[in-house]
């Protein structure tokens, strides 16, 4: 879940990509713009391939969130709960940042085949894991493979489809995310109810293998993209190290040492902004390190608001199963309420113009903060009549604000920075999800979650996990309001 993730992996994240780098219609692109033409001239099979790649990455987190209580019970590694999400998202961040350059070096077909193999290998590691450490490493490998698949899918769309079809292709990928939101908890719940959580990863390993064979046969003869910049390895290494320190705090017995690790990790993440500001190859666009500017405020808002939402997908299913006696399937759908609310509200504001943008972003960020506070108050008792509306309020907040934040931030970037700014939208949310999961893991383990799950530890975990994420929601709301501090475009902010 969210993208995300939970909403680093949400439908809007992909559909928003259609707006990330606006393209001017080419003079030679004068053909029909209907579905029949989109799937003509050999494009149908490649379209299906892209859809399969999007499906693999879209459903992965949603399925895993549903089965994690069963995994923890079987492998006995409750201390690593947060890391199973943080590791996956860290892998996605690193892979997405390198996807363009990698495809240029080895070609799109070879890069996509390798991405499928890496993803499938991670699935096999998780399926065969005999302890939570191996399972977590498998999740990291899946994140790398999934991040590459996502990045290469976006490149393939740009290379394979005429300008007139881009909106329809991105709409189709958004629909796949929507289907994943519906089917992800169902698939995970059915396997968990059957006592066979490993079957989920065997299923996705076989799908990854099918993806590999299809990519090898369908992506030949495509010219690689022209990407002049390299990869910001230094910034990515510091970011990964910062997340690593926060994650390491999950498994450190000393409270003082764990707190110091969290502080050190957050400091390293802040250093990424300073290093990036003077780097020749940048991870973020110019001005992203300055929160007094619209650009900087926007990325801070995306990072912190995503981080604040991740506790529900990471710990919600386990808490609801323990305190309410829900099945894995029911708990998965209870947590997915946030995703459903996100999707519905996103459609409601999809046609908003600039005059309404400021109000929707502010209303959305406020809803996220209210949802975070409510979850901190009600999750300890896990009464569904209170939990579901709280999750829905948070989901509505993301739906109202997410795509409009994207548009406002990108509207203030120079043409030179628009490509890097587009990828940074995804990277900032994924990094935020990883940090949020790691912080939630520290809070959960302080509450006794690492020792095992019972009614007492579940209730205490709920209080500490969701309370620890409220400050992130508050910072994100402040940043979102700063992003919209005037009615003018972001360039004037």
| Per-position pLDDT tens, the chain of length 493 | 333 344 443 433 433 433 333 343 444 444 555 556 666 666 788 888 888 888 888 788 778 778 888 888 888 777 777 778 777 878 887 887 777 777 777 888 888 999 999 999 999 999 999 988 899 899 999 999 988 888 788 777 767 777 666 666 766 776 777 677 778 878 888 898 888 999 999 999 999 999 999 988 877 766 555 555 667 888 888 888 887 787 777 667 677 787 888 889 889 988 988 888 888 887 778 878 788 888 889 999 999 999 999 899 889 988 999 998 998 888 888 888 988 888 788 878 876 777 788 899 999 999 999 999 999 999 998 899 999 999 999 999 998 988 888 878 877 777 667 666 766 777 788 788 888 888 888 888 888 887 777 899 999 999 999 999 999 999 999 999 999 885 444 444 4
Chain centre distance of CA 56 = 13
| d(C-alpha 394, C-alpha 2), whole Å | 12
What is the domain extent for residue 201?
7-16+37-492
Residue in the structure block whose two tokens are 């007139």: 164
CB 10 within 8 A of CB 342: yes
- Return the number of other C-beta atoms located less than 10 Å from residue 141's C-beta: 22
Residue 222 lies in a domain: yes
Q: Which residues of 47-82 are buried (b: 16+ CB within 10 A; e: fewer)?
A: bebbbbbbbbbbbbbbbbbbbbbbbbbbbebbbbbb
pTM to 2 decimal places:
0.76
For residue 48, the domain's CATH number is 1.20.1250.20
Q: What are phi and psi of 280, to 5 degrees?
A: -75, -40
- Specify burial of residue 186 (Cβ count, 10 A radius: 0-12, 13-18, 19+): middle
| d(C-alpha 6, C-alpha 61), whole Å | 8
CB 459 within 8 A of CB 447: no
Q: At what angle do helices 43-75 and 81-106 cross, to 10 degrees?
A: 150
Residue positions counted in the chain? 493
Q: Which residues contact 484 (CB under 8 A, 6 or more apart)?
A: 357, 358, 361, 362, 408
Residue 2 lies in a domain: no
Residue 450: closest CA among 435, 465, 436 = 465
Give the three-state DSSP class for 132.
helix
Q: What are phi and psi of 399, to 5 degrees?
A: -65, -40
Residue 26 lies in a domain: no
Residue 29 lies in a domain: no
CB 215 within 8 A of CB 113: yes
CB 238 within 8 A of CB 270: no
What the block records as the tokens of 391 is: 């999750």
Residue 369 lies in a domain: yes
Residue in the structure block whose two tokens are 């020792």: 451
| d(C-alpha 448, C-alpha 458), whole Å | 9
| d(C-alpha 476, C-alpha 474), whole Å | 5
What the block records as the tokens of 285 is: 């666009």
Residue 24 lies in a domain: no
* 366 to 48, 106, 395, 485: CA distances (angstroms): 39, 45, 12, 14
DSSP assigned state of 25: P
| d(C-alpha 446, C-alpha 460), whole Å | 9
Tally of helices (H runs) and strands (E runs) in the chain: 17, 0
CB 313 within 8 A of CB 456: no
| d(C-alpha 118, C-alpha 305), whole Å | 30
Residue 310: closest CA among 179, 461, 472, 197 = 472
Q: Angle at CA 16, nearest 5°, toward 95 and 229?
A: 40
Residue 350 lies in a domain: yes
| d(C-alpha 280, C-alpha 65), whole Å | 39
Residue in the structure block whose two tokens are 């209580």: 69
Chain centre distance of CA 164 = 28
Residue 298: closest CA among 308, 288, 284 = 288
| d(C-alpha 157, C-alpha 21), whole Å | 13
Residue 459 lies in a domain: yes
How high is the pLDDT of residue 367?
97
What the block records as the tokens of 403 is: 């795509």
Residue 69: closest CA among 463, 333, 457, 453 = 453
Domain count for the chain, please give it.
Answer: 1
Residue 249: closest CA among 228, 236, 264 = 264
């Amino acid at each position: 879940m969210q993208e995300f993730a939970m909403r680093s992996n949400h439908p809007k994240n992909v559909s928003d990509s259609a707006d990330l780098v606006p393209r001017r219609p080419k003079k030679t692109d004068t053909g029909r713009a209907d579905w029949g033409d989109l799937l003509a001239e050999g494009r149908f099979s490649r379209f299906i391939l892209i859809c399969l790649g999007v499906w693999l990455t879209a459903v992965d987190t949603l399925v895993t969130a549903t089965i994690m209580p069963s995994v923890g019970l079987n492998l006995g590694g409750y201390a690593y709960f947060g890391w199973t999400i943080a590791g996956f998202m860290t892998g996605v961040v690193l892979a997405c940042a390198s996807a363009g350059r990698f495809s240029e070096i080895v070609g799109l077909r070879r890069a996509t085949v390798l991405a499928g193999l890496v993803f499938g290998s991670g699935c096999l590691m998780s399926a065969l894991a005999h302890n939570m450490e191996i399972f977590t490493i498998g999740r990291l490998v899946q994140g790398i493979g999934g991040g590459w698949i996502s990045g290469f899918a976006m490149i393939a769309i740009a290379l394979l489809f005429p300008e007139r079809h881009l909106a329809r292709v991105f709409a189709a990928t958004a629909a796949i995310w929507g289907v994943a939101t519906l089917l992800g908890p169902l698939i995970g719940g059915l396997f968990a109810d059957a006592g066979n959580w490993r079957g989920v990863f065997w299923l996705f390993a076989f799908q990854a293998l099918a993806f590999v064979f299809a990519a090898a046969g369908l992506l030949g003869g495509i010219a690689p993209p022209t990407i002049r910049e390299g990869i910001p390895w230094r910034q990515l290494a510091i970011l990964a190290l910062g997340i690593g320190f926060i994650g390491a705090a999950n498994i450190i017995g000393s409270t003082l040492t764990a707190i110091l690790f969290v502080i050190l990790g957050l400091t390293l993440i802040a250093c990424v902004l300073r290093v990036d500001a003077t780097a020749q190859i940048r991870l973020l666009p110019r001005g992203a390190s300055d929160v007094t500017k619209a650009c900087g405020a926007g990325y801070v808002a995306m990072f912190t608001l995503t981080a604040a939402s991740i506790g529900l997908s990471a710990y919600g299913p386990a808490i609801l199963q323990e305190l309410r006696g829900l099945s894995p399937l029911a708990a998965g759908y209870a947590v997915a309420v946030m995703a459903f609310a996100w999707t519905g509200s996103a459609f409601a504001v999809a046609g908003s113009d600039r005059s309404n943008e400021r109000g929707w972003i502010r209303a959305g960020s406020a809803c996220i903060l209210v949802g975070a506070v409510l979850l901190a108050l009600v999750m300890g008792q896990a009464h569904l009549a209170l939990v579901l509306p709280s999750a829905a309020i948070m989901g509505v907040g993301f739906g109202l604000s997410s795509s409009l934040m994207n548009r406002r931030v990108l509207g203030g970037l120079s043409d030179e920075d628009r490509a890097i700014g587009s990828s940074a939208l995804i990277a900032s949310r994924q990094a935020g999800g990883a940090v949020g999961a790691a912080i939630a893991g520290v809070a959960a383990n302080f509450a006794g979650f690492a020792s095992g799950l019972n009614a007492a530890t579940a209730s205490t975990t709920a209080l500490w996990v969701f309370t620890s994420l409220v400050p992130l929601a508050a910072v994100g709301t402040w940043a979102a309001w700063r992003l919209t501090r005037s009615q003018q475009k972001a360039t004037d902010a």
